[in-house]
Amino acid sequence: MRATVTVMLKQGVLDPQGEAVRHALGSLGFDGVEGVRQGKVIALDLAEGTSEAEVTEMCEKLLANTVIESYRIEMG
């Protein structure tokens, strides 16, 4: 079984990496990019029977800094 966790900075939290990517894209001639938010994707290979609640606990304790980041879990 696999779970995919997508972690992103919450809205309103400054994203310097995203801004650097936006600036670099503009330098390369991609002028239509008005904003970039950068995050991370974590793929977990899980033992059968691992629940979404357990993955949520993993996110809350380690995978995401819930003060400044939000996360989304996809099981499957």
- Scanning the structure block, which residue is given the tokens 């400044």? 68
CA distance 30 to 34: 10
Say what the pLDDT of residue 74 is: 98
Domain count of the chain?
1
- State pLDDT tens for residues 14-59: 999 999 999 999 999 999 999 999 999 999 999 999 999 999 999 9
* CATH at 54: 3.30.1280.10
Q: What is the mean pLDDT of residues 61-76?
A: 97
Amino acid 22: pLDDT: 97
Q: In sequence order, which residues have a C-beta less than 8 Å from that of residue 19 and are 6 or more positions away?
A: 36
Q: In terms of residue numbers, what domain contains 22?
A: 2-75
Q: Which CA distances in Å does 4 have to 22, 58, 72?
A: 26, 12, 8
Element (H, E) at 73: strand 69-75
